[in-house]
Amino acid sequence: MASNFDYDYVIIGSGFGGSVSALRLSEKGYKVLVIEKGKWYKKEDFPKTNWNFKKWLWLPIFKMFGILKMTIFRHATIISGVGVGGGSLVYANTLPIPKSGFFTSGNWKGLTDWEAELKPHYAVAEKMLGATENPKFYDSDIALQKVAQQMGRSDTFEAPKVSVYFGKSDVEVKDPFFNGEGPDRVGCNFCGQCMTGCPNNAKNSLDKNYLYLAQNKGAKIIAEKLVTSVKPIDISDGSSGYIVDFKDATSYFNKGQGSVKANGIIFSGGVLGTVRLLLDMKANKNLPNLSDEVGNHIRTNNENLSLITTRDKNLDLSKGVAIGSIFSPDDDGHVEAVRYGAGSNFWKVLIFPMVFGKNSFIRILQLLKELITHPMVWLGNYFRKDYAKRTVILLFMQHLDSTIKFKRGWFNLSSKVTSGLKPTPFIPMAKTLADKVAKEINGNAFMMSTDILLGSPSTAHILGGSVIGKDKYSGVIDTKQQVFGYKDMYVCDGAAISANPGVNPSLSITAMTERTMSFIKKK
């Protein structure tokens, strides 16, 4: 590598793909810089509940620099993570391996034996993330187990592997994962606060494994910087390196503008970060060789979020890890019992009673009927002080394919349907599950208001937009996740997921990036 570079590789984003890249490249002797737009968060910095918007929500225009971002599109409301560690700060720790159909469908279908190739990398990813089977079931999990039994699917009910340290509750120990090379850890106390930022040092977020070890190997991480430009130095295919420009992400005045030169680039900003930056770079001709497929083949994981609130004051649905149990209600579906910690009651202001209908007019009429006939069921939730303790969230996902496309808009990206049916939150199986759980816990089912009013689903698992293809006419990156038309430029995040997994994708992103890094030779 030429000596006039500031870094051998610049990694844009510090989520699952960026963190893996940082460690593996550093281990191979490369000088690495990770640029993250969010803040550094330690266990004492996280919000105690999701009412602390300043620490929970990412809304820079209102000087809120928290760990969770909500972005509303025509066809989906997207929930994503921000901060050093990316989505691992807010995700629900769950690490399932997709069913075989994931590896033989979508844009990457037939390009290699993906299931066989990724199998050893899934094993490494599980070890690095501290994947451990949830050892305890609580009220939410017991209710889901009973529903699985009622549906004749108890054989598919299980405790998931989760990225949590289960030592003695609240007892600190020396690093139990990396032979003492990692940070000290504290045993999980099952407080349910995983998704607002673990306050107990039990969650195996990326700053406690990949990023921590990468820094020990010399990787540099700079936070609160937003990459605005990536362009080749001299030769158009990047074989002479790249210039990366960035600015302050948490300041109105952009005092921290700067640029660095690097031999290689890893895009790891998640779908919203990576796809937007690639679309911008193609439009302004900084990266003119990019495939026209940038922004295409985006998947929502076909999800439905329903929230069931019990009337039984003896139940505590907030106790446990964020996702403590899962099962498959049919051959295409996957459902999980999700929880927030006690006091994290914010979501109650964004929900309406669950109604299904062909259009928003019909659904609004149904809501008015609910308000007239059952006013306290609806309005009572807004005044419920123990909402999180009384509410279980059902996350339903399907391995059924449909895609949308993102393109540049005036202020943000915009979306349109490109193949299959339009993404919808109104999935019959999701309603069946919600009704059954509601009956089991003596409760009522609700949905996100945006889902009902807009007819579009809420998802924490937006995927694709820079998919794998056999050439630049069918994808943005090749089977090694290198960008077509550019040297030493890779996409390693959810944007590279090229089929619909139907389960939480974090482990798959980690495994795919491990595979990609295995192809890069030592310096």
Cα first-last separation, the chain: 8
Query: Which pLDDT score, from 0 to 100, does residue 403 have?
Result: 87
Counting beta carbons within 10 angstroms of the beta carbon of residue 419, is it exposed (0 to 12), middle (13 to 18) or buried (19 or more)? exposed
Alpha-carbon distance of 453 to 352, in angstroms, equals 10
Alpha-carbon distance of 348 to 25, in angstroms, equals 44
Q: Please, which residues have CB within 8 angstroms of residue 492's CB and are 6 or more apart in sequence?
A: 17, 18, 20, 21, 266, 267, 268, 481, 509, 512, 513, 516
Compute the average pLDDT of residues 374-383.
Answer: 89
CB 354 within 8 A of CB 394: no
Q: What is the identity of the amino acid at 228?
A: T
**458-487 tens-digit pLDDT:** 999 999 999 999 999 999 999 999 999 999
Q: What is the mean pLDDT of the chain?
A: 95
User: What is the helix (H) or strand (E) element at residue 337, kind and residue range?
Assistant: strand 333-338
Angle between helices 506-518 and 114-128 (to 10 degrees): 110
**64-82 tens-digit pLDDT:** 999 999 999 888 999 999 9
Q: What is the identity of the amino acid at 436?
A: K
Q: What is the identity of the amino acid at 183?
A: P
Query: Which pLDDT score, from 0 to 100, does residue 513 have?
Result: 98
Query: What is the per-residue burial (b if ≥16 Cβ within 10 Å, else e) of 106-118?
Result: bbbeeeeebbeeb
Tell me how crowded residue 349 is: count the other CB atoms within 10 A of its CB.
Answer: 10
**260-302 tens-digit pLDDT:** 999 999 999 999 999 999 999 999 999 999 999 999 999 998 8
CB 317 within 8 A of CB 482: no
Query: Which pLDDT score, from 0 to 100, does residue 418 have?
Result: 84
**Which residues are bridge partners to 306 per DSSP?**
394, 447
Query: Which pLDDT score, from 0 to 100, does residue 491 have?
Result: 98
Give the tokens for residue 456.
């579009």
**478-517 tens-digit pLDDT:** 999 999 999 999 999 999 999 999 999 999 999 999 999 9
Active site residue 75: no
Query: Which pLDDT score, from 0 to 100, does residue 3 have?
Result: 62
CB 301 within 8 A of CB 423: no
Alpha-carbon distance of 170 to 126, in angstroms, equals 23
**350-371 tens-digit pLDDT:** 999 999 988 999 999 999 999 9
Query: Which pLDDT score, from 0 to 100, does residue 415 have?
Result: 85
**422-440 tens-digit pLDDT:** 888 999 999 999 999 999 9
Alpha-carbon distance of 406 to 75, in angstroms, equals 10
**214-249 tens-digit pLDDT:** 999 999 999 999 999 999 998 899 999 999 999 999
pLDDT at 131 over 60: yes
Q: Which fold has domain 7-132+197-298+462-518?
A: FAD/NAD(P)-binding domain (3.50.50)
Helix and strand totals (H; E) in the chain: 11, 26
Alpha-carbon distance of 276 to 319, in angstroms, equals 38
pLDDT at 2 over 80: no
Give the tokens for residue 432.
């069946």
pLDDT at 162 over 60: yes
Query: Which pLDDT score, from 0 to 100, does residue 421 have?
Result: 76
Compute the average pLDDT of residues 451-459.
Answer: 92
Phi and psi angles of residue 361, each rounded to the nearest 5 degrees, phi first: -60, -45
Chain-centre distance for alpha carbon 187:
24
Query: Which pLDDT score, from 0 to 100, does residue 80 have?
Result: 95
Compute the average pLDDT of residues 187-207.
Answer: 97
Q: Please, which residues have CB within 8 angstroms of residue 150's CB and are 6 or more apart in sequence?
A: 436
CB 441 within 8 A of CB 392: yes
DSSP3 helix / strand / coil % (the chain, rounded to 5): 30, 25, 45
pLDDT at 114 over 90: yes
Question: Confidence class of residue 251 from pLDDT cuts 50, 70 and 90?
Answer: confident
pLDDT at 419 over 80: no
Q: Please, which residues have CB within 8 angstroms of residue 447's CB and are 6 or more apart in sequence?
A: 305, 306, 307, 351, 352, 353, 354, 355, 425
Q: Find, among 323, 289, 343, the residue nearest to 52 by Cα.
A: 343
Q: Find, among 222, 441, 225, the residue nearest to 316 by Cα.
A: 441
SS3 382: helix
Query: Which pLDDT score, from 0 to 100, does residue 398 have?
Result: 87
Alpha-carbon dihedral angle through residues 495, 24, 502, 498, given to the nearest 10 degrees: 40
Query: Which pLDDT score, from 0 to 100, does residue 1 have?
Result: 45
Residue 406, CA distances (Å) to 70, 81, 116, 514 in order: 16, 19, 31, 27
Alpha-carbon distance of 47 to 68, in angstroms, equals 11
Phi and psi angles of residue 173, each rounded to the nearest 5 degrees, phi first: -135, 165
Q: Give me the helices (H) in 177-327, please.
A: 210-216, 270-283
User: CA-based angle 151:156:158, to the nearest 5?
Assistant: 115
**Which residues are bridge partners to 392 per DSSP?**
308
Residue where the block lists tokens 């209710």: 143
Give the tokens for residue 245.
């420009």
**Per-residue DSSP letter, 190:** -
Query: Which pLDDT score, from 0 to 100, does residue 84 have?
Result: 98
